[in-house]
Amino acid sequence: MRAILQRVTQARVDVDGETIGEIGEGLLILICAMQGDTQAQADKLAAKIGKLRIFKDEDGRMNRSVKDIGGSALIVSQFTLAADTSRGNRPGFSTAAPPAEGEALYEYFADQVAAQGMPVAKGQFGADMKVHLLNDGPVTIWMDSET
């Protein structure tokens, strides 16, 4: 699985003009299931994200996790993280998991993040979403379940 984490002071996702998920301080997690990904990889990635120390402590150092600060997660499916730009000018997305598998892993991943005691809001898999965020820092981190 691939993820982009953005440390935010607030974020929301809208579908058809309605807000369907919203958080205050925490992480906006854009997530993509790749072909062959498993629940074990989702478990590993969710656990690592929950412990990642990218929030400031009292000395201004990135030394706290999202759980340490009582933050939330907004999890949005993002199949374009599978983009292959190695040939031509149009990205290919054939390495993304098929839609049914991708949706199942997306939902499973969100459940695993929530199981860590973190409030979770979600986007809508496969929908045309408008994501609004106030990136804090800015801090943006790319992660892969393979690394």
Catalytic residue among 6, 41, 55, 78: 78
User: Is the dihedral angle over the CA atoms 18, 73, 5, 59 positive or is it negative?
Assistant: positive
Could you confirm whether 79 is annotated as catalytic? yes
Q: Report which secondary-structure segment, H or E, holds 101.
A: helix 99-114
CA distances from 95 to 12, 67, 82, 86 (A): 28, 32, 6, 13
User: Is the dihedral angle over the CA atoms 132, 129, 118, 83 positive or is it negative?
Assistant: negative
Q: What's the token pair of residue 145?
A: 């379940």
Catalytic residue among 19, 35, 80, 140: 80
Catalytic residue among 6, 41, 79, 109: 79
Could you confirm whether 80 is annotated as catalytic? yes
Could you confirm whether 19 is annotated as catalytic? no
Positions annotated as catalytic residues are 78-80
